[in-house]
């Protein structure tokens, strides 16, 4: 018994080497977090630099007409303007879509490329530009039909992201083990939406339930953002390696942009 107690005391007395290794791990993790959020900030800055001129161009060069019979609103973009050019050259939207899909799959599946500089930065830059172009094209519709929607969506997304990020950094709950739970929620909501929305549309109650589904989608995406943030912070059971800074910035950027899309649909005209 005495030997066991002594062994226990010796086990609890950590050596300076153990403390140094833990301190080094903490320093590496903090450097990793700073690198991820620095890259994310550049991605969001590029996206804003693409979206803002398009939105301003749309507001100054668009008009909408409401059909008195059908009550449908038709909006037209006039030229010459940046929004007009993007509407006419819609093929670039398709190219941006496939470019974003290809680069995202490359970074996720080919980890050796995601960890090798500068090719990982180049691929992420291409992905960011493609996503920014697609988001700009989407904002044209909302800026033309309901001015102020884009700003409301941006502010709402920023508030959600800040709240979820703050919670992920400070909470003791481990969300990294809840990935399967989030996936089940998302799949359940998707199939329920595909099944019930046609019924609501037929009964004329689609507007209310459409908003309910959008709010639930934003809620699930918020949980996913907390999960992904904790993977980067490294407090939970699962975490990203310090060499996966590009992957960390990628998943956070995708979470934020996806929330923004749903916020646009929630605030925009139905």
- As to burial, measured by CB atoms within 10 angstroms (0-12 exposed, 13-18 middle, 19+ buried), residue 46 is middle
Structure tokens at 35: 């690198």
- Interval 173-178 mean pLDDT: 76
Nearest 10 degrees: CA dihedral of 110, 94, 73, 203? -60
| Three-class secondary structure of residue 205 per DSSP | coil
Q: How crowded is residue 266: how many other Cβ atoms within 10 Å of its Cβ?
A: 19
Residue 258 CA to its chain's centroid (Å): 5
With contact defined as beta carbons under 8 Å apart, do 262 and 207 qualify? no
Give tens-digit pLDDT for 142-161.
887 777 888 999 999 999 99
**Residues paired with 65 in a beta bridge:** 74
In this prediction, residue 270 carries a pLDDT of 56
Sorted by where each begins, the domain ranges of the chain are 2-267
Q: Report d(CA 138, CA 132) in Å as an integer.
A: 10
Q: Report d(CA 50, CA 44) in Å as an integer.
A: 10
- Report whether pLDDT(140) > 90: no
Structure tokens at 75: 């909006």
Give counts: helices (H), strands (E), the chain: 10, 2
Give tens-digit pLDDT for 218-258.
998 998 899 889 889 877 677 788 888 999 999 999 999 99
With contact defined as beta carbons under 8 Å apart, do 12 and 94 qualify? no
**Verdict on whether the full-model pTM lies above 0.75:** yes
Confidence of residue 211 (pLDDT cuts 50, 70, 90): confident
- Interval 25-33 mean pLDDT: 82
Kindly report the average pLDDT of the chain as a whole number.
79
């Amino acid at each position: 018994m005495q030997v066991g107690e002594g062994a226990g005391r010796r086990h609890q007395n950590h050596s300076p080497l153990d403390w140094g290794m833990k301190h080094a791990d903490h320093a590496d993790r903090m450097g990793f977090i700073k690198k991820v959020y620095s890259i994310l900030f550049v991605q969001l800055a590029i996206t804003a630099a693409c979206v803002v001129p398009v939105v301003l161009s749309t507001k100054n060069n668009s008009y909408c007409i409401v059909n008195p019979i059908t009550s449908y609103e038709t909006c037209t973009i006039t030229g010459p303007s940046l929004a007009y050019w993007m509407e006419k050259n819609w093929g670039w939207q398709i190219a941006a879509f496939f470019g974003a899909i290809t680069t995202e799959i490359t970074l996720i599946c080919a980890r050796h490329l995601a960890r090798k500089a500068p090719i990982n930065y180049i691929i992420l830059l291409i992905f960011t530009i493609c996503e920014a172009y697609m988001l700009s094209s989407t904002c044209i519709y909302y800026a033309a039909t309901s001015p102020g929607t884009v700003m409301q969506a941006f502010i709402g997304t920023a508030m959600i992201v800040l709240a979820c990020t703050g919670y992920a950094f400070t909470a003791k709950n481990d969300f990294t083990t809840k990935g399967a739970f989030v996936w089940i929620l998302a799949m359940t909501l998707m199939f329920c939406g595909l099944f019930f929305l046609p019924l609501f549309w037929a009964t004329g109650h689609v507007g209310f339930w459409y908003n309910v589904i959008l709010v639930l989608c934003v809620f699930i995406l918020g949980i996913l953002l907390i999960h992904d943030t904790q993977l980067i912070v490294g407090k939970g059971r699962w975490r990203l390696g310090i060499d996966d800074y590009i992957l960390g910035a990628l998943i956070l950027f995708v979470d934020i942009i996806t929330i923004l899309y749903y916020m646009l649909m929630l605030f925009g005209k139905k």
